[in-house]
Amino acid sequence: MIVVGGGLAGLSAATALADAGLRVRLLEKRPYLGGRATSYALPDGSHVDNCQHVTLGCCTNLADFYHRVGAESKIRHYSRLYFADRNGSVSSIYSSPLPAPFHTSFSFLRFGALSFGDKRAIARAMFAIARSGGRPADAPGVSMLDWLRRNSQTDAAIARFWRVVLVSALDEELDRTDAHYGIDVFWKAFLANRKGYVLGIPSVPLGELYAGCREAIERRGGEVKTRAVVRAIRLSDGKFQSLIMDDGSELRADACVTAIPHDALPQILPEEIKNRAEFAGLSRLRTSPITGVHLWYDRDVLEKPFLTLLDHTVQWIFNKSMLYRGAGKSASVPSRELGQYLQLVISASYDLIPRSRQEIIDLCVKELHEVLPAARSAQLQKATVVKEVNATFSPELGSDAFRPAQKTQIANFFLAGDWTRTGWPSTMEGAVRSGYSAAEAVLAASGVPRKVLVADLPAEGICRWWAKE
């Protein structure tokens, strides 16, 4: 059994198949595992994430994967979310003892950055989502922005609430986002279950989370090969036969899961199947960018572990020094002497892509001065900008139609990747769901069907009844 691609989709497929007793060979092009959710070494030996990654309580399959590979203790959970307005005044969202879907409503009522009118409009739209069990009748076929306008949202509610949550969660602007993806975020993360919104943040660089994958695969006699570039897939009699590697060698296997990005797959597919209906939609999936900015200050400028900014270009600030503190022995965690290390994230960063590195740093530093008074007198010691132009696939209106299933028409050839049909947007959870679904399809085709996918968090309280209706 071969799995191509060592991102979360490939790693989750490979470890699930190894756990089911299969001998798996995992091939990854780069020298390290993790794909887009990884970290790399700086010249001083410390490691930085290509971009901060966070998970939520509703990401049940990712949690299962972390458990499977022994990484769950490296994820810290935060049940209070902080938001700063233009002047740095902070409001937070947290849970009260009230049952779902009302558990965060007390903190929401106290949220300083929204007026009473904004809150009333938001509460009405949230009720429409909850009452329909996450499937409002007026959502199909419209963009998120159109749905919000139809549901009488004020400009401030859109800019300071809906956009803030959704651009970060979906990496796309509201007018380009299919309403069903946006609504799903609120249903799963904020309404259906009290734990859905709880933020999970790694306390170590991302690359350290995958150490257990190699062990899980090798324990079953399998192999993990990095710097292994697949150039072509070969079929025989309509079935998968082998892979042609970069060095010209041929690797045969009884079955194959490819878990590489959607724009890389057509380059290795055989000519005779490239134009089949199941692969034809790949060229129609668009991507959207994320920009990560790493700043090292000579002293502490942020007291909180993270902060979401309203009315700014910068969307999130992560206090990496604090998030890594107490991580235990980790050679790749930057040392405390460096002062404070912050990671800033800007999703759907279309406007930043053409800008120079220095312009982006200047803009971020200016915005930090507005919200963090301590940053004004601190010295910026080092800064890096990472532009991921094709960070995620865009959850555009109708994009679901272009996402193929994990089981293909070729009996022993399967697909994984966050872009395959999972119902989830381009996220780590989506990637793991695709890997688990591909593993289920492999096991079913091998005559040993087994459940790998983990259930969603259950809808609680009155949401349970509304979800059933």
Ligand X SMILES: Cc1cc2nc3c(=O)[nH]c(=O)nc-3n(C[C@H](O)[C@H](O)[C@H](O)COP(=O)(O)OP(=O)(O)OC[C@H]3O[C@@H](n4cnc5c(N)ncnc54)[C@H](O)[C@@H]3O)c2cc1C
CB 175, CB 142: distance < 8 Å: no
Contact segment (CB under 6 A) with ligand X among 5-13, 102-110, 149-157, 302-310 equals 5-13
> Of 2, 3, 10, 407, which lies in the binding site for ligand X, with binding defined by CB under 6 A?
10
Annotate 280-336 with DSSP letters as a single string: HGGGG--EEEEEEEEEEESS----SSEEEESSSS--EEEEHHHHHTT--S-TTSPPG
Alpha-carbon distance of 62 to 59, in angstroms, equals: 6
* Least Å from the CB of residue 258 to ligand X: 8
Site for ligand X contains 8 (CB under 6 A) = yes
Number of residues that bind ligand X (CB under 6 A): 38
Among 29, 67, 286, 369, the residue binding ligand X under the rule CB under 6 A is: 29
290 binds ligand X (CB under 6 A): yes
Residue 261 makes contact with ligand X by CB under 6 A: yes
Among 264, 327, 454, 462, binds ligand X (CB under 6 A): 264
Using CB under 6 A as the binding rule, whether residue 230 contacts ligand X is answered as: yes
Find the distance separating the first CA and the last CA of the chain, reported in whole Å: 43
SS3 state at 159: helix
To ligand X, the closest distance from the beta carbon of 169 in angstroms equals 8
Helix (H, G, I), strand (E, B) or coil at 154: coil
Strand, coil or helix: what is 242? strand
Q: How many residues does the chain have?
A: 469
Q: In terms of CB distance, is 98 or 229 closer to ligand X?
A: 229
User: ∠ CA(350), CA(318), CA(166), 5° rounding?
Assistant: 45
Task: State which residue, 28 or 64, has the beta carbon closest to ligand X.
Answer: 28
157 near ligand X (CB under 6 A) = no
Q: Which of 2, 26, 54, 383 binds ligand X (CB under 6 A)?
A: 54
Q: Does 28 bind ligand X (CB under 6 A)?
A: yes
Residue 431 touching ligand X (CB under 6 A): yes
Minimum distance, C-beta of residue 345 to ligand X, in the bound complex (Å) = 7
Tokens 């009290």 sit at which residue? 194
Rounded to the nearest whole angstrom, what is the least distance from the CB of residue 173 to ligand X in the complex?
A: 16
The residue (of 42 and 268) whose beta carbon lies closer to ligand X is 268
Helix 211-219 to helix 8-19 angle (10° resolution) is: 30
d(CA 390, CA 290): 8
Contact flag: residue 392 with ligand X (CB under 6 A) = yes
Q: From residue 407 to residue 426, what is the string marking binding to ligand X with x (rule CB under 6 A)?
A: ----------xx-------x
Is the CB of residue 389 less than 8 Å from the CB of residue 50?
A: no
Which residues are bridge partners to 385 per DSSP? 293
φ, ψ of residue 61 to 5 degrees: the values are -75, -35
Give how far the C-alpha of residue 101 lies from the chain's centroid of Cα atoms, to the nearest Å. Answer: 24
229 touches ligand X (CB under 6 A):
yes
Which residue is it, tokens 């972390």? 66
Q: Which of 22, 114, 158, 259 binds ligand X (CB under 6 A)?
A: 259
Query: Interacting stretch for ligand X, rule CB under 6 A, among 27-35, 77-85, 94-102, 218-226?
Result: 27-35
Q: Which tokens go with 378?
A: 């601190």
The answer to the question of residue 391 lying near ligand X (CB under 6 A) is: yes
Minimum gap (Å) between residue 329 Cβ and ligand X: 25
Stretch that binds ligand X, among 46-54, 375-383, 395-403, 442-450 (CB under 6 A): 46-54
Pair 285, 262: CB distance under 8 Å: yes
Contact between 292 and ligand X per CB under 6 A: yes
388 interacts with ligand X by CB under 6 A: yes
Which alpha helices (H) appear in 206-258, and where do they start and end?
Answer: 211-219
Among 1, 2, 3, 7, binds ligand X (CB under 6 A): 7
Rounded CA separation 444/448 (Å): 6
Out of 2, 27, 145, 183, point to the residue binding ligand X (CB under 6 A). Answer: 27
Sign of CA dihedral 141, 146, 148, 152: negative
Name the minimum Å distance from CB 23 to ligand X.
19
Q: Which residues pair with 3 in a beta bridge?
A: 26, 257
Binding mask 56-95 for ligand X (x = CB under 6 A): ----------------------------------------
**What does the alpha-carbon distance between residue 338 and residue 298 come to, in Å, rounded to a whole number?**
7
Sole window of 33-41, 173-181, 211-219, 357-365 interacting with ligand X (rule: CB under 6 A): 33-41
Structure tokens at 211: 């150490």
Please report, as ranges, the residues that interact with ligand X according to CB under 6 A: 4-10, 27-30, 35-37, 51, 53-55, 229-230, 259-261, 264, 268, 290, 292, 388, 391-392, 417-418, 426-431
